[in-house]
Amino acid sequence: MDYRPFVIGLTCLVLGCAGGQWVKEGVEPETVKRDYGECQTWGSFQQPQPGTLGDKMGGMPDMSGLAIEKCMRGKGYQWVTETAEGR
């Protein structure tokens, strides 16, 4: 069973499928970029390894987007959409 459409839909629901950005009060853009890069790295390690049971049963969903979101929220960031910013 292919879970990718479900995960993409869930990610869109969580993030609003709108343009936006991660924000945290008092944090410079360079710090946001660095923290996001760290979360991307962490998220890439959250994938099932080839040859696991999930891989043998047709693959596992890509959870890296949700892992990145969890990481950024854990660092105190919020996702702010363009509509939430009043644009």
19-72 tens-digit pLDDT = 889 999 999 999 999 999 999 888 877 666 566 555 566 555 566 788 899 999
Question: What residues make up the domain containing 67?
Answer: 4-81
In a domain, 56, yes or no: yes
Q: Which has the higher per-residue pLDDT, 84 or 42?
A: 42
pLDDT surpasses 90 at 15: no
Q: Please return the burial class of 50, using the count of CB atoms within 10 Å of its CB with bins 0-12, 13-18 and 19+.
A: exposed
Question: At 9, is the pLDDT very low, low, confident or very high (cuts 50, 70, 90)?
Answer: low
**Cβ-proximal residues to 61 (8 Å cutoff; 6+ apart), any chain:** 3, 4, 6, 7
Residue 34 tokens, joined: 């660095």
Question: Is the separation of the CB atoms in 81 and 18 below 8 Å?
Answer: yes
Q: Which has the higher per-residue pLDDT, 81 or 26?
A: 26
pTM (2 d.p.): 0.59
In a domain, 86, yes or no: no
Number of structural domains found in the chain? 1
In a domain, 11, yes or no: yes
First-to-last CA distance in the chain?
40
